[in-house]
Amino acid sequence: MGHRKERKNGYAVKRSDYDSHGDYPLNESETENSPCPVTKRCGGCQWMGMDYQEQLREKEKRVRKLLAPYCGLEGIVGMEQPLYYRNKVHAVFGEDRRHRPISGIYEERTHRIVPVDSCRIENQKADAIIVSVRELLPSFKIRPYNEDTGFGLLRHVLVRMGQASGQILVVLVLASPILPSKNNFVKALLKRHPEITTIVVNVNNRNTSMVLGDREQVIYGKGYIEDTLCGKIFRISPSSFYQVNPLQTELLYAKAMEYAALTGRETVLDAYCGTGTIGIIASERAGQVMGVELNADAVRDARVNAKINQVGNIRFYQNDAGRFLLDMEAQGARVDVVFMDPPRGGSSEEFLSAVARMAPERVVYISCNPETLARDLKYLTAHGYGAERGLAVDMFPFTEHVETVCLLSNRKPDTKVRIDVDLEDYYHIKDAKKNQN
């Protein structure tokens, strides 16, 4: 149940194909049950210290119970090595009482910094880079930012890792745009970590809990990295959405593609598409793919990713997913398969009702919250769909969170006539009419 390997439709890889934990092997005495010294103050790993097999049993039990009224659960896919899996690592910077730089995480529900040099679930190489940045600060007379006084420069460091590519992006989040002795600082950091691919300065001068600001300056490299997921290349910039556990993501998406059962003729909708990962992966086995996403930056990244992968049968639209489907329905358009991967709050009733009316043959629902998944399954099964089966995937060991993918099939008689509509032309005409008015 816990440690399955899967290879479906050519999308998945063996776990041994990638080293998900950087270049730092575990100590012989270290296991997933070893104590974490800051877990009570951090609050991020609610299940740290619990036996990993017990974690999997608890997560599977929870998902199985929630899905029981609608479908069975195939099981849960866990990790063979559940430590150090996060490829996105963030540290907040500050000073101790002696004005020495510290870095770590906020104590749960506070803005007090818990100093952390190494986290049990974060990539160890990323943690080492953050420690190096902190150790370099005094020699360059760089002070961490103080939230109370507004004095200081360095607020956060964000490190993003390419799981398959090995590329590394370092983001220095500053309160003002000037990094003292910028070139020498870069040289000193690269001397310690020549594996770094690119370094970006991000400027956040607002009084906000948000990590990243709106302005960026590339001070080394291209300003982004690339990684391979399910055989496709994706660009990762400082603000790009990209799954933090690619090893498990490949297994999750492989199951989603298996459920979709694409033959090369289908029109596919990738709803809540983000940077286009699911749609781009599905494109090689679909006739036409449309991705819809409300966030403009994500849509821009999705289009870049499609170009990188030379995908010609996919189009991305910036729109609310529910409104987009209503517009499609108004044009008499139809889709065969819908992938939906909504946020933790689940899907909107507007979107679900539009899906029910358009009646695609299959809906593949990817969820990061089994409670809202169960709620949405209740709606869809009451409006002509049958939930066939699901699979849980442990994307976040030592936390209470779990991902689930579920297949729904249309059980209503097919009374619609298929009309092929080019949505790109439709939105072009719609915008032209709006400008005329």
* Domain ranges for the chain: 88-229, 245-436
pLDDT confidence tier of residue 86, bands split at 50, 70 and 90: very high
Mean pLDDT of the chain: 88
pLDDT confidence tier of residue 81, bands split at 50, 70 and 90: very high
Residue 250's SS3 state is helix
| Residue-level pLDDT at 404 | 98
Q: Residue 235 and residue 156: Cα distance in Å, rounded? A: 22
Domain made up of 88-229: CATH architecture: Beta Barrel (2.40)
Q: How many CB atoms lie within 10 A of CB 234?
A: 27
Residue 29 has pLDDT above 90, yes or no: no
pLDDT confidence tier of residue 68, bands split at 50, 70 and 90: very high
Q: Strand locations in 97-175, DSSP E?
A: 101-106, 113-115, 154-161, 168-174
> Is 71 a residue of the active site?
no
Find out whether 160 and 238 touch, Cβ atoms under 8 Å.
yes
User: Starting from the edge strand earliest in sequence, which strands make up the sheet with 215-220, in order?
Assistant: 113-115, 101-106, 88-95, 154-161, 168-174, 198-203, 215-220
Q: Residue 381 and residue 65: Cα distance in Å, rounded? A: 17
Q: Which residues contact 135 (CB under 8 A, 6 or more apart)?
A: none
Question: Which of 1-15, 55-69, 271-285, 317-331 is predicted least confidently?
Answer: 1-15
Residue 416 has pLDDT above 90, yes or no: no
Q: Residue 229 and residue 238: Cα distance in Å, rounded? A: 18
pLDDT confidence tier of residue 430, bands split at 50, 70 and 90: low
| Residue-level pLDDT at 57 | 98
Q: Helices 52-67 and 370-381: crossing angle, nearest 10°?
A: 20
Question: Which of 151-155, 217-221, 328-332, 343-347 is predicted least confidently?
Answer: 328-332
Q: Residue 291 and residue 289: Cα distance in Å, rounded? A: 7
Q: Which residue has the tokens 């799954």?
A: 243
| Residue-level pLDDT at 42 | 81
Q: Residue 372 and residue 219: Cα distance in Å, rounded? A: 42
Q: Residue 352 and residue 321: Cα distance in Å, rounded? A: 10
Residue 383 has pLDDT above 90, yes or no: yes
Q: Which residue has the tokens 């529910």?
A: 322
Q: Residue 149 and residue 140: Cα distance in Å, rounded? A: 21
Q: To 10 degrees, the CA torsion angle through 209, 214, 215, 221?
A: 90
Q: pLDDT by residue (tens digit) across 180-219?
A: 999 999 999 999 999 999 999 999 999 888 899 999 999 9
Mean pLDDT of 30-58: 81
Q: Which of 303, 262, 302, 253 is CA-nearest to residue 286?
A: 262
| Residue-level pLDDT at 6 | 36
Question: Higher confidence at residue 19 or residue 402?
Answer: 402
Q: pLDDT by residue (tens digit) across 226-256?
A: 999 999 999 999 999 899 999 999 999 999 9
Looking at domain 245-436, its CATH class is: alpha beta
The first and second tokens of residue 200, run together, are 């970006």
pLDDT confidence tier of residue 431, bands split at 50, 70 and 90: low
Question: Higher confidence at residue 18 or residue 45?
Answer: 45
Residue 221 has pLDDT above 80, yes or no: yes
| Residue-level pLDDT at 37 | 80
Q: What predicted TM-score, i.e. pTM, was given to this entire model?
A: 0.84
The first and second tokens of residue 98, run together, are 């002696």
Mean pLDDT of 20-43: 57
Q: pLDDT by residue (tens digit) across 129-180?
A: 999 999 999 999 999 999 889 899 999 999 999 999 999 999 999 999 999 9
Catalytic residue among 36, 45, 368, 406: 368
Q: To 10 degrees, the CA torsion angle through 305, 310, 314, 317?
A: 40
Q: How many CB atoms lie within 10 A of CB 87?
A: 24
